[in-house]
Homo-oligomer: A and B are copies of this chain.
Amino acid sequence: MGMKTSVTPKVSFKTQMLQAREEAIIHMVNRLLAEKGFEAMTVDEVAAGVGIAKASLYKHFPSKEDLACAAMVYLMRRAQVFLAELPQEPPPLEKLQMVVRWTMELKLAGEMPSLPSQNSSLRATLIASKDYMNGLIEVSDVLGGWIEAAQAEGTISPGIPAIVVLYTLFARACDPVLEFLKMGGQHDDKQIVDLVMATCFQGLNAR
């Protein structure tokens, strides 16, 4: 970010090292959040996982909540990148399905951070985070546009409020059905995703 990067590569290098370390931290937090959730994750674990002292962690992130928030911001960025890289041709319904499929695969791969929907201190941090909120809003806007387009096309039921469709799609990212089926061991990941996709979009009722 400095204006002398070409003359003082050392500074840039140092910055890169720091950034790399922060990325390592965020990856670790992301994994632990996916594995055990916010409350069960401890800062000690994060530090040990990254291989640095806990005090050093606190130089990068002022609190446990900020750690989780950073992981959520990272997730939002990944989502934005995924949305941006989606091909434009497919009809909106198919793009929505690709997104849902992606989030489920992320969850099955143990990379989908799971937050307690209740924890107030964490919620406060998330809501106060401009990066997180902006990312969430942009993702919601893009998906919301596709939902309305799909409803206009008649591929998604126009009777359901778009916000309900949006929440229903988001909720697939933390659907316990995925874990239960994975625990059952009767299906592989692809089958699980297909099954949940089918129940989500086609419903349980016969057609």
Contacts and interface: CB of A to CB of B under 8 A. Distances in A.
> Which of A151, A164, A169, A200 is packed against the most chain B CB atoms within 10 Å?
A164
A124 B156 CA distance: 42
A101 B165 CA distance: 19
A85 interface: no
A144 B35 CA distance: 30
A37 B175 CA distance: 17
A201 interface: yes
Given A39-B40, A171-B175, A157 B118 contact: no
A160 B117 contact: no
A143 to B, nearest CB: 12
Interface in A18-38: 35-37
B40 A116 contact: yes
A199 B35 CA distance: 29
User: Interface majority SS on A: helix, strand, loop or mixed?
Assistant: helix
Contacts of A164: 177, 181, 195-196, 199
> Which of A40, A157, A179, A206 is packed against the most chain B CB atoms within 10 Å?
A206
A5 interface: no
> Which of A158, A175, A179, A186 is packed against the most chain B CB atoms within 10 Å?
A175
A62 interface: no
B201 A155 contact: no
6 contacts: A160-B195, A161-B186, A163-B181, A163-B184, A167-B176, A167-B181
Interface string A71-108: 00000000000000000000001000000000000000
